[in-house]
Amino acid sequence: MNLVASLSLQTARHLHLAAQGLLRPLGRRARFADIHATVRQMSLLQIDTINVVARSPYLVLFSRLGAYQTNWLEEALASGALFEYWAHEACFIPFEDYPLLRHRMLEPQRLGWKYNQRWVEEHQQEITDLLQHISVNGPVRAADFSNDKQTKPGWWAWKPHKRHLENLFSAGQLMVVERRNFQRVYDLHSRVMPDWIDEQHALSEDEAVLQMLSHSACSLGIFRGSWLADYYRLKRAPLKSWLEDAAARGEIVRVEVEQLGEMWLHHALLPLLEKPLSATHTALLSPFDPVVWDRRRALELFNFDYRIECYTPAEKRKYGYFVLPVLPVLPVLPVLPVLPVLHRGLLKARIDAKMERQAQQLVVRAFWLEEGTRISNAFLNDVQKAINRFAAWQGANQVIIENAPAELLAAWSTRWSIGE
């Protein structure tokens, strides 16, 4: 395991962003095939239903692809290019990776709150009847079934059929075959994958874990060993032996990174070291983007201390409900749970934003700069353009800034029309 290179912290950040498709803009119009390719590059596309500005999976794709037709994600699911299951959390996953997750379906009781063994045992007849109903009548949504009583919203108050469906989904007996208005549509696994035979096609947990570690390494690009298991939420991962074996076969190489020490680099990125790397992308990131979903990793790699404050009591919030990170040309804007703003290889700001759809306005309720961020002309231009692209994609024709540093307001003003 010889040391291949000593890298600057900036280069390490650029390599990670390159692996994630966030180093440079796409450079062309997005195509339908890019949906699967982008999810393949990330390995996983996390699903979250919070919708203040844009639902998270759509925003993750937009950060990488620019303006694309949002119905393409649903079409990719319906076509069988993607499937849904529990990976990092609930995720869209390339369909070819179905064998990697099947062992979790076969032992759903290990999924924690995502599967309720007691509920299944107590409602066996109802669940059997539901499966028969789907077999005869075709795919269903939870909304297709009425509720007998008034309940408050929330997973703890799901109506019985919703609980049945979710448990059957976690157990792999049902699959999500499409989404209608982002609502899951469930069908029988046996109908979606009639040729699947567990004894022939399923991987053992040990085999699947090794492949998930390989996918994680590729999607992270550069990493500490301790970062790998979180990507697929692996609880029992043979990290030490996998690192040794992967290094021996040349899949990863050891590098020394400024300030961070020993790290591992995926072999696919080695050609990028042949010349200086530059980051030219600026984008608003989802709070559930792979770049920031591991808060410890974001802090160690980008010095970006980030948590989603929609789960923090209002009086204790430092930023806002849903703040989007922004990277330098990869800005850290706060929107959903405060959006990070990525600008040219760094997370430089965060934005708390809201889309007023009826008024066709993107309202930036607050814009925070990360400590040490210099407000250059490039930063002002790049981030404003990123905000405009995002606002236009969401159907806004005007941007309103309610709170921001004085230097930004002096350059941008408090409102502008897109295209001015």
Domain boundaries, the chain: 1-278, 290-417
Mean pLDDT of 352-376: 94
Token output for 196: 């699947």
pLDDT value, residue 307: 72
Mean pLDDT of 391-415: 95
On the question of pLDDT at 165 being above 60, the answer is yes
Distance CA 20, CA 25 (A): 12
pLDDT value, residue 323: 61
The CA distances from residue 234 to 104, 117, 169, in Å, are: 11, 21, 20
Q: What residue has token string 């007849």?
A: 125
Mean pLDDT of 390-410: 95
DSSP codes, 32-54: THHHHHHHHHHS-EE-----SSS
- Average pLDDT over all residues of the chain: 90
> For 6-23, what is each residue's pLDDT tens digit?
999 999 999 999 999 999
pLDDT value, residue 318: 55
Coil, helix or strand at residue 121 = helix
Mean pLDDT of 237-248: 97
pLDDT value, residue 324: 59
pLDDT value, residue 49: 72
Neighbours of 384 (CB within 10 A): 16
Mean pLDDT of 75-93: 97
Kindly tell me the sign of the dihedral angle through the C-alpha atoms of 276, 280, 284, 290: negative
**Sequence-distant (≥ 6) Cβ neighbours of residue 248 within 8 angstroms:** none
Mean pLDDT of 343-354: 96
pLDDT value, residue 24: 97
Distance CA 60, CA 57 (A): 5
pTM of the predicted structure, to 2 decimals: 0.90
What is the band of 92 on the pLDDT scale with cuts at 50, 70, 90? very high
pLDDT value, residue 264: 98
The CA distances from residue 214 to 206, 209, 232, in Å, are: 13, 9, 11
Comparing 336 with 289, the larger pLDDT belongs to 289
> For 22-64, what is each residue's pLDDT tens digit?
999 999 999 999 999 999 999 999 998 776 678 899 999 999 9
> For 294-343, what is each residue's pLDDT tens digit?
999 999 999 999 876 444 554 555 555 456 566 543 333 333 468 999 99
Neighbours of 209 (CB within 10 A): 21
